[in-house]
């Protein structure tokens, strides 16, 4: 038994029917659905049976039947069918036509892409970054101006947290000022130490190159052996001093 009908080798003897010669809306070869086609003889939808050798399933015709007789089969029964089309392209075309035939309010894209929503901004009173005293004061005053619930000594939850943050920074300010003063003192001491050690370092550097500099100066003062050039002025051996 075949999955689509009774296994049979019978055909109607006609040449195979090519789907490329049939109107695209007169057959259904979707991979997930039962294959079917409009019979070219009787014009009714009929199943296509077979796995590799496809044919139209046997079905009755429209002739007159007297009492007790079996209706004659349609001449289109067991018609061989050959799928000579690109099934994916045909299916895409049919889907497009189906969407185009729908009312505008029922249409929707085959695939929808949604842009991910960005995370909501973290409230200022929940930011864990270091907030200075001036910044905490500005944020608190700006919230008081914009918030209708923060009036007099009453605060909303956010306003109360901002007020606590400002008070905390205010209490920490003396310790931070002392820390900044200590850092400044350390930098001044380091600069004075570098200034005091600069002459000693320069003297030590000069001692390392003193003898090579003296040898270079001695070589520079020597006059090479040989006669002076026959043409041109003599090369001065004494340093020239420009008087103004």
pLDDT digits 0-9 by tens, 88-139 = 998 888 888 777 665 655 555 556 666 666 666 556 556 555 677 788 888 8
- The span from the first CA to the last CA of the chain, in angstroms, equals 125
pLDDT digits 0-9 by tens, 22-50 = 988 889 998 888 899 999 888 889 999 98
Helix axes 133-146, 157-221, angle to 10 degrees: 150
30: β partners:
none
CB 168 within 8 A of CB 162: no
Exposed, middle or buried: residue 54 (CB in 10 Å: 0-12, 13-18, 19+)?
buried
Residue among 97, 99, 95, 96 nearest 108 (CA): 99
């Amino acid at each position: 038994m075949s999955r689509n009908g009774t296994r049979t080798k019978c055909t109607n003897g006609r040449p195979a029917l090519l789907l490329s010669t049939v109107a695209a809306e007169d057959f259904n070869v979707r991979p997930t659905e039962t294959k079917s086609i409009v019979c070219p003889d009787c014009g009714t939808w009929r199943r296509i049976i077979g796995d590799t050798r496809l044919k139209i399933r046997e079905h009755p015709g429209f002739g007159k039947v007297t009492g007790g007789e079996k209706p004659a089969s349609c001449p289109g029964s067991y018609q061989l069918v050959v799928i000579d089309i690109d099934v994916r392209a045909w299916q895409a075309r049919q889907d497009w036509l189906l969407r185009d035939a729908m009312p505008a309010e029922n249409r929707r894209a085959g695939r929808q892409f949604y842009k991910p929503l960005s995370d909501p901004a973290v409230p200022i009173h929940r930011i864990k970054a270091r907030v200075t005293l001036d910044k905490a004061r500005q944020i608190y005053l700006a919230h008081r101006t914009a918030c209708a619930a923060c009036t007099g000594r009453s605060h909303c939850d956010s306003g109360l947290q901002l007020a606590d943050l400002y008070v905390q920074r205010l209490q920490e300010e003396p310790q931070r000022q002392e820390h900044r003063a200590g850092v400044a003192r350390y930098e001044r001491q380091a600069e004075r130490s570098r200034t005091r050690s600069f002459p000693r370092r320069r003297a030590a550097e000069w001692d390392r190159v003193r003898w090579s500099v003296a040898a270079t100066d001695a070589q520079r003062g020597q006059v090479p052996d040989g006669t002076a050039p026959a043409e041109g002025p003599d090369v001065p051996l004494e340093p020239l001093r420009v008087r103004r």
